[in-house]
Structure 1
Amino acid sequence: MHAPERHTGDVGTESLIPKDEIVSSGTSSPHRLRILQGWLTAVSFSLLLAGTNLTTPLLPVYRAEIGFTPFMMSMSFVAYVSVLVVVLLLFSNRGVVRFSPLLVCVALILAAGSDVVLGTATTAGVLVGRALAGVAGGIGTGAVAALVVASLGARGRSVSATGNLIGAVLGTSFAQLCVALLGARAMYWTFLVHAIVCVCLVVVLASVLTLRSEENRRILTNRDLPPSNADRSVRAFHVRPFLGGCIAWSTISCAIVFLPSFFQSLGAPLLRAIGVLVLLVFCALGQIFSPRLYRFVPQASGSAASWVGISLLLIGGIFDNNTLSLLGFGLLGIGIGIKYRIGLLVLTLGAAPAEQSSLSSVYAATTYCVAATTVLVAGSMGESFGLDRFVPCLFLVLGLITVAFSPWAPKLSDSVETESLSP
């Protein structure tokens, strides 16, 4: 039996798509082109985020080959996030949404340029390349959110959360494979391959966007939309979605930056190699299967899975139990995925494309800003106390914060995900 569906108030999205492009003409060429645009745009966002995660498995390599310290590992993250946050806020204005087709293409080109700089495998190159990746991600996030909602309607509403994690999984997996096969040479070849894929995709995407230029212009510049429920959602839930997203993204950011080197220092090569990958895979799975999870535990918020995962991860590290640590990585990933997606969906409840673009950018900017600050402070403290002693304390604190916030965390029942519960 299906749980009762909630009316999401999704106004101004499907109503702007011509009737001959909706279900009744599912086999028509305009309909297929609209769907193709939606999925190509979503793939573009995942590719952008894949590029920003290519450095994750390379951090231990950077530490060995070019002398990265814990503080420099933090700075490689902060160089990306600080620029990302500024650009996200600059492009969160609703008036920018009409340029979304152009901005997505520009973002892919900048991502390829970032790869070229990162491929120099120098300390300055890594920092500058990460900053360029921040520009690409900041330009692309809102533009992708608007285009996907304009193309796919309510189904595309969570692309900024799901595409983020899918990109992280793909980028981390590919980079880890390159490290395993190429060793130190992965610092060069990993980015070259990603740059080539970005260039190929932008050619295909630009062609589709050109064919749909008139339709996109009409949808993205429509000024006569009825008021949506997005502002009501923000007022009703206050800052809870932002707090949940900040806790989730700070935790996953600290895990990505510090845990590979931490487990390497403990002499646990398996956890160094695949621990973060397991975290990201289960984070994406937690997002993808959230609608099904709602049927059984509508009050789930991801908090319980997060703090249990942190506990198992730390216990496994202390007692040299890889199985327990990997289970902890998995549970932590599920909790983070659910929590981060719920926050975005609650904020964008009923939003039209322009609102989706603006709210997605603000949500990403807020969560990344807090995460960057957390990582920078943690890196500075890790420099003073050493990774072996500091990392367990860091994740113990993150676990306690998660437990303290859990009674106020937004639940699955609060989110727009319940609009699409069919398998």
Structure 2
Amino acid sequence: MEGEDMANGAGAAGTAVRSRGRGASACRVNGWRFWATAYTLLILLAGTNLPTPLYRGYEERFGFSPFVVTLIFAVYVAVLIPSLLVAGPLSDAVGRRRVLVPALALAGLGALGFALATDTWWLFAARISQGLAVGAASGALTAALSELEPSGSRRKAALVSTVASVGGLGLGPVLAGLLAEYVAVAPDVVPFAVEIVLLIPAAVAVMALPTTRETTRWRPRRPGIPAATRAVFATSGTANFLAFAVIGLFLTLIPTYVATLADSGNLLLGGGTAALLLACSAIVQILGYGRSPRHLQLLGLPLLALGLLMLVGARSSLVLLLGAAVLAGAGHGLVFLGGLTTVNNAAPDGSRAEVLSGFYVIVYLGVGLPVLGVGVLATAVSLTTAVSWFAGTVAVLCLLVLLAVGRTGRRSLAG
């Protein structure tokens, strides 16, 4: 009996060791998949912003106005939002991989469209393809990060998602500006060829994603936000609408604005200004990790407003404009991290991608709609006047939303 007990004990110990080994192995695999998914999000969003420093060259080459630039940007958002609303629930039903593979194919097609562009319609077609790609992938990739984070930390998953998103938005203009300015051969083609190459490992990463749930039947339906999340969704969504309106401005019209102030045609300067804002956003997100999501938004909104007010005073000063980019970027980063963490924490497991896709709908409406108004205004007055009016208006709205976030937080604590 004693020998049998010892044998049983040894067998149990061996089983425990094997179980721990399998657990460690699964954790390593999930860790690889987690960071590969973050890379995919980074590269996808970098590709959508490669055209930022090139728009001025397209204006001269194809003969269109700043308003057409905002239309090209707006059509991207116009197709992105329906794509988000369809693809988020679809990926919850059929799995992330089946949605993400076609999305990456569309991203590559969009890059190819820009590389081959011979007139303005090519630019519209390429942006439509990119909008469909980002819309299909945003909610699914963010949900996949939450599911694959090895320790199960939704807060860490939200941080990586926001840093990868903002890092991609900033990497695109810098990469395109650098290549277009200093590569002698086909400067408006090489950035998009590089993107296509970088999408290849992203496609490999997506193909390696696990099946996260059993496939269920999916039917088109009107998107909905669970009642328990509506209050935080409304305040966080509104704050991020305003924060991303600033991103839309810097990605479309600020490069031309910078070129006018600096009296320079250097493409890296225009793209670098947009990247400066986004780099500051990414840095403060890392520094703010672990802080209360509500406090992040309460700090971010006044910083964003201050940066916008500095932009109003930057009509003749490049130094002030760069300072505005730093402050607005810091404010954006805190608002985005706080808002996405709040919504991610509140989203039910069974509809996470749907809720996150709804959040991204608000984000991309902020990117596309306000800047379209700035483009219209710029044709009626001037670009500098339109940018100043935009900045002043959004600064006031940021302060109003700040009050709403504070009230929502107090009600939550009281409840």
Give the TM-score, by structure 1 length: 0.80
Partner of 1:197: 198
Partner of 1:372: 368
Partner of 1:84: 80
- Cα distance, 1:255 vs. partner? 2.1
Matches of 1:76 and 1:284, distance apart in 2:
26
CA shift in 2, pair 1:347/1:181, >3 Å: same
Matches of 1:313 and 1:390, distance apart in 2:
12
CA shift in 2, pair 1:298/1:92, >3 Å: closer
**Is the aligned partner of 1:338 residue 2:334?**
yes
Structure 2 residue aligned with 1:308, among 286, 302, 306? Answer: 306
CA shift in 2, pair 1:300/1:405, >3 Å: closer
Report the residue type matching 2:378 in the other structure.
G
CA shift in 2, pair 1:401/1:177, >3 Å: same
Structure 2 residue aligned with 1:142, among 139, 143, 151? Answer: 139
Contact 2:116/2:189 (<8 A) preserved:
yes
Matches of 1:36 and 1:95, distance apart in 2:
21
Partner of 1:16: none
Matches of 1:217 and 1:263, distance apart in 2:
48
Matches of 2:373 and 2:23, distance apart in 1:
54
**Is the aligned partner of 1:362 residue 2:321?**
no
CA shift in 2, pair 1:26/1:350, >3 Å: farther
Contact 1:112/1:196 (<8 A) preserved:
no
CA shift in 2, pair 1:273/1:256, >3 Å: closer
Q: Deviations over 1:311-367 (max 9, x none)?
A: 22332333x2x3332122111001011112222221221535543211111011122
Partner of 1:289: 287
Q: Of the two structures, which has the highest relative contact order with CA contacts closer than 8 Å and spacing of 6 or more? A: 1
Q: Deviations over 1:159-184 (max 9, x none)?
A: 54332211112212211211221379
Report the residue type matching 2:26 in the other structure.
P
Q: Deviations over 1:73-111 (max 9, x none)?
A: 101111111100011011232674432112222211211
Partner of 1:40: 36
SS at match of 2:95: helix
CA shift in 2, pair 1:353/1:175, >3 Å: farther
Structure 2 residue aligned with 1:279, among 273, 277, 280? Answer: 277
Contact 2:100/2:137 (<8 A) preserved:
yes
Report the residue type matching 1:368 in the other structure.
Y
Range 94-103 or range 167-176, more displaced: 94-103
Structure 2 residue aligned with 1:130, among 106, 127, 132? Answer: 127
Structure with greater Cα Rg: 2
- Provide structure 1 residue ranges, at least 5 long, that are not aligned to the other structure: 1-19, 222-229, 415-423
Contact 2:298/2:405 (<8 A) preserved:
no
Partner of 2:396: 400
Structure 1 residue aligned with 2:249, among 246, 254, 258? Answer: 254
Partner of 1:163: 164
Partner of 1:9: none
Matches of 1:167 and 1:89, distance apart in 2:
22
Matches of 2:65 and 2:88, distance apart in 1:
35
Contact 1:97/1:357 (<8 A) preserved:
no
Contact 2:107/2:129 (<8 A) preserved:
yes
SS at match of 2:52: coil
Matches of 2:340 and 2:56, distance apart in 1:
32
- Cα distance, 1:144 vs. partner? 1.0
Report the residue type matching 1:278 in the other structure.
L
* RMSD of aligned residue pairs (Cα, Å): 2.9
Partner of 2:183: 182
Q: Deviations over 1:205-231 (max 9, x none)?
A: 42x23xx44xx345x87xxxxxxxx94
- Cα distance, 1:371 vs. partner? 3.2
Contact 2:87/2:136 (<8 A) preserved:
yes
Q: Tell me the number of residue pairs that the alignment of Structure 1 and Structure 2 aligns.
A: 377
CA shift in 2, pair 1:238/1:124, >3 Å: closer
CA shift in 2, pair 1:408/1:314, >3 Å: same
Matches of 2:205 and 2:281, distance apart in 1:
29
Contact 2:296/2:337 (<8 A) preserved:
no
SS at match of 1:239: helix
Contact 2:97/2:206 (<8 A) preserved:
no
Range 331-340 or range 270-279, more displaced: 270-279
- Cα distance, 1:410 vs. partner? 6.1
CA shift in 2, pair 1:379/1:337, >3 Å: same
Matches of 2:184 and 2:310, distance apart in 1:
30
Partner of 1:74: 70
- Cα distance, 1:52 vs. partner? 0.7
- Cα distance, 1:140 vs. partner? 0.8
**Is the aligned partner of 1:389 residue 2:385?**
yes
CA shift in 2, pair 1:132/1:354, >3 Å: farther
- Cα distance, 1:294 vs. partner? 5.3
Partner of 2:234: 239
Matches of 1:64 and 1:183, distance apart in 2:
19
- Provide structure 2 residue ranges, at least 5 long, that are not aligned to the other structure: 1-15, 217-224, 411-415
Range 166-175 or range 89-98, more displaced: 89-98
Report the residue type matching 1:245 in the other structure.
N
CA shift in 2, pair 1:382/1:39, >3 Å: same
- Cα distance, 1:305 vs. partner? 1.0
Give the TM-score, by structure 2 length: 0.82
CA shift in 2, pair 1:298/1:65, >3 Å: closer
CA shift in 2, pair 1:94/1:131, >3 Å: closer
Contact 2:90/2:99 (<8 A) preserved:
no
Partner of 2:12: none
SS at match of 2:299: coil
CA shift in 2, pair 1:177/1:61, >3 Å: same
Report percent identity of matched pairs: 23
